[in-house]
Structure 1
Amino acid sequence: MAAGHSRLGSRWLRYEFHDDSGTWFRSYGNELWEFDARGLMRRRVASINYARIREADRKYHWPLGRRPDDYPSLSDLGL
């Protein structure tokens, strides 16, 4: 690795989204982020899988934005 660069690997369990027709999906994946000496992302490598889910099977129910502080954690949700 070149001097002044930092890497971060992340395995994340899931996020949920819907397409324009209202079909819901859950994604799972791994990512590798590489940053330059200024802290700017210079490279991103991702492997993401999507699975169609029923709306009733969603785990996350909050308005657009970050997870509210009082919302159950991933561990609390059995993830």
Structure 2
Amino acid sequence: MSKDIRPPFTHESALAKVKFAEDAWNSRDPERVSLGYTVESNWQNRAEFFTGREAIKTFLTHKWARELDYKLMKELWCFTDNRIAVRFEYEYRDAVTNQWMRCHGNEYWDYDEEGLMQRRVMVGNDYPIEEADRKYK
């Protein structure tokens, strides 16, 4: 479980934390994903700001209703004692237009002493792709 990987991070534990997050998000299960965050976790996702596990679950439920066939890749960029930064890329099919999209960007994560994420900041950009150009299937 993700919270068993606690700060201070080593290169190996930071890689494990990133892999755990990637696997959880690729499950597309808002409940499972939310358990990696503190009860009052603060999020910035692009221009959206919200706090708490319930808000996280609501956000993810709506996200994956719009972003069909979602597939994510996260890559460790750097880490310190209780922080991790990742580069990410994901692809999805828009539920309204059926257009394939790719999003890429960075995330910055702060963890509490129990190994739960207490702050997440995501910046990303979406752009249309052809289905034949998908990387993540």
Bin of the TM-score, shorter chain as denominator length:
0.5 to 0.7
1:39 aligns with 2:115: yes
SS in 1 for 2:124: strand
Q: Which residue number corresponds to residue 50 of structure 1?
A: 126
| CA distance in structure 2 between the aligned counterparts of 1:6 and 1:26, rounded to whole angstroms | 29
**1:57 partner letter:** D
Superposed displacement of residue 23, structure 1? 1.1
Identity over aligned residues, as a percent?
Answer: 46
User: Residue by residue, what CA displacement relative to the aligned partner does 1:27-61 show, whole Å, maximum 9, x if unpaired?
Assistant: 11011000101111100011111111111211222
Where has structure 1 moved over 2 Å in runs of 4 or more? none
Q: Flag the structure with larger Rg.
A: 1
The residue type paired with residue 113 of structure 2 is A
Q: Secondary structure at the match of 2:132?
A: helix
In the alignment, the residues of structure 2 paired with residue 26 and residue 49 of structure 1 have an alpha-carbon distance, to the nearest angstrom, of: 8
* Partner in structure 2 of residue 72 of structure 1: none
- Provide the TM-score with structure 2 as the length reference: 0.38
TM-score, scaled relative to structure 1 = 0.63
Q: How many residues align?
A: 57
Distance in 2, matches of 1:9 and 1:23, equals 29
Residues of 2 paired with 1:32 and 1:11: CA distance? 9
Select the structure that is richer in helix.
2
Q: For the residues of structure 1 that align with 2:136 and 2:82, how far apart are their CA atoms?
A: 32
